[in-house]
Amino acid sequence: VKSYQAVIIGGGPAGLGAAIALKKQGIQDILVVEREHHLGGILRQCIHDGFGLTRFGESLSGPEYAQRFIEEAQRLQIECRTDCTVLHLTEEKIVTLCSRAGLEVVAARAVVLAMGCRERTRGALAIAGTRPAGVMTAGVAQHYMNLRNIMVGREVVVLGSGDIGLIMARRMTLEGAKVKGVFEIQPYPSGLPRNIMQCLNDYDIPLYLSHTVTEIRGRERLSAVTISQVDEAMRVLPGTERELSCDTLILSVGLIPENELSLDAGVVLDYRTKGALVDEHYQTSVPGIFAAGNVLHVHDLVDFVTLEAEALANAVTEYVKRNTMPDCKFTVVPGEGIGHVVPQRCSGRDAFTLSLRVTRPRRDCIVTVHQGGREILRQTVKNALPAEMLQYSIPAERLNAEGDLEVALL
C-alpha cells in the first residue's frame, strides 16, 4: 500500500489551499483526490465576479480565482488525481480510491476533508404536487448555463433567497428569461445584502419575504406553482394561496456539507453546522483527520475558505512532524442569539479564529466570549445577519487556564 504524508479529499479551493500551504511548509508527499475531470471545485461554474476581494484585494471570477491555485499546485508539482473518487475512509486513515484504473488503497499520515457541500433539493423540502421537468437547484441551473451553455427556462420562479439563487436570478435575466420573483419563507433574506442589491434591486426582481411554494403543477414540464404566505412560525396561512405560471422553479434553499466519508471514518459531526466537530487546529474527533471549507461549515465567501485551509495546513504540518496535537481542554459553545460556532473545542495553547453565525438579524448588538464566567472578548456589531459569517481572533494570551468558552449575542 502506497503511503502519503497527507491525502486531501477534494480539489476545490479548500483542498488546493491546504495542499499548496502544506507543500510550502515542506510536506513533500501530498495527494489531492478530485472526483471531477477538472480541479477548482464549484468555482468553475461561478462565472460572476466578486471573488478574491479579501484574499487578493481584487475582484476575480470564480474560474479566475480557482486558476491561481491550480497553477500554483502545478508549479509546486503537487500530485493531483482528477476523475478519481474517494469511496471509503477509515479511522486508521486508509483511503480507498476509485478511478478508470480501478480501485486503489493508499495510507495517509494525515487526511484533510475538503469535500465541499451539496444543495438541498425538492425532496428535502417535500413540496406537494406533480414531478415535472423544470424544477432544479440553483447550482444545477448554474452548471447547465455556465458550463454547458444550455438555457434552462424562460419564466422563472426562485424559491429561497440564498446567494446562489440570487446570482442565478440575475444570470437568467441577463440571458433573457423573465424572473417573476424570489420567494423566501423567513421574514428576512438569507443571502448577502450586496447580492440583494446587485442581483435583485438592480434588475427590478421582486423579493417576497414570509412566502413559500406550496404546490408544483405541470405534466411533462412545470406550468405553474402555488405561492402561499406563512406566519412567524413558518406555518402556511390558509386563504393566501395564489397561482403563478412559470416553466422553471429554481431552488436555493440551503447547502449540506458532504460528510458521508467523515462518518465512515467515525468523525463526530456537529448537528448545528452538519460538519465535523473540530478544535482550533481544525482536527476532527479522529486524530490526524482534519477538515476545512464548506465540508466543515457553509461559508458565504470563498476567500474565507482559502484562509481557513491555509490555517489548517499549519496544524497538519505539526501533526505530520510530531504525530500528535495538543489535548483539547475546553469546549466552545454557542449561547444566546448564536446559531453555531467553529471551532467547538480548543486546547488553550494557541490563538485561533472563531467563526460564528447569528440566529436572526440584529442591529447595534455585542458579541461576547466568556471563559469560565470571565469575559475574554467583546465586539460591537452594527448589523448582524444570519447570512454573514462573523469571525474574531482569539489571542492565546486572553485564554485562561480553566473554563469552557461561551459565545453570545447581547
Ligand X SMILES: Cc1cc2nc3c(=O)[nH]c(=O)nc-3n(C[C@H](O)[C@H](O)[C@H](O)COP(=O)(O)OP(=O)(O)OC[C@H]3O[C@@H](n4cnc5c(N)ncnc54)[C@H](O)[C@@H]3O)c2cc1C
> Which residues form the interface with ligand X (CB under 6 A)?
9-15, 33-36, 41-43, 46, 51, 85-86, 114-117, 119, 139, 142, 164, 167, 255, 258, 261, 293-295, 299, 301-302, 305
Residue number with CB closer to ligand X (90 or 331): 90
Rounded to whole angstroms, how far apart are CA atoms 354 and 342?
6
Residue number with CB closer to ligand X (213 or 291): 291
Q: For the residues of 287-337, what is the DSSP string, one character each?
A: TTEEE-GGGTS--S-HHHHHHHHHHHHHHHHHHHHHS--PPP-EEEEE-TT
Residue number with CB closer to ligand X (67 or 223): 67
Q: For the residues of 138-168, what is the DSSP string, one character each?
A: HHHHHHHHHHS-----SEEEEES--HHHHHH
Q: Report the nearest approach of ligand X to the CB of residue 346 (Å).
A: 22
Q: What Å distances lie between residue 355 and 148, 259, 299, 339, 404, CA to CA?
A: 36, 20, 10, 11, 17
Q: Could you tell me if 331 and 348 are in contact, meaning their C-beta atoms sit under 8 angstroms apart?
A: no
Residue number with CB closer to ligand X (13 or 189): 13
Q: Report the nearest approach of ligand X to the CB of residue 34 (Å).
A: 5
Q: Report the nearest approach of ligand X to the CB of residue 78 (Å).
A: 15
Rounded to whole angstroms, how far apart are CA atoms 35 and 19?
16
Residue number with CB closer to ligand X (12 or 334): 12
Q: Report the nearest approach of ligand X to the CB of residue 261 (Å).
A: 6
Q: Report the nearest approach of ligand X to the CB of residue 304 (Å).
A: 8
Residue number with CB closer to ligand X (267 or 407): 267
Find cell 489535548 and name the residue: 327
User: Which amino acid would we find at residue 254?
Assistant: G
Find cell 504525530 and name the residue: 323
Q: Report the nearest approach of ligand X to the CB of residue 396 (Å).
A: 27
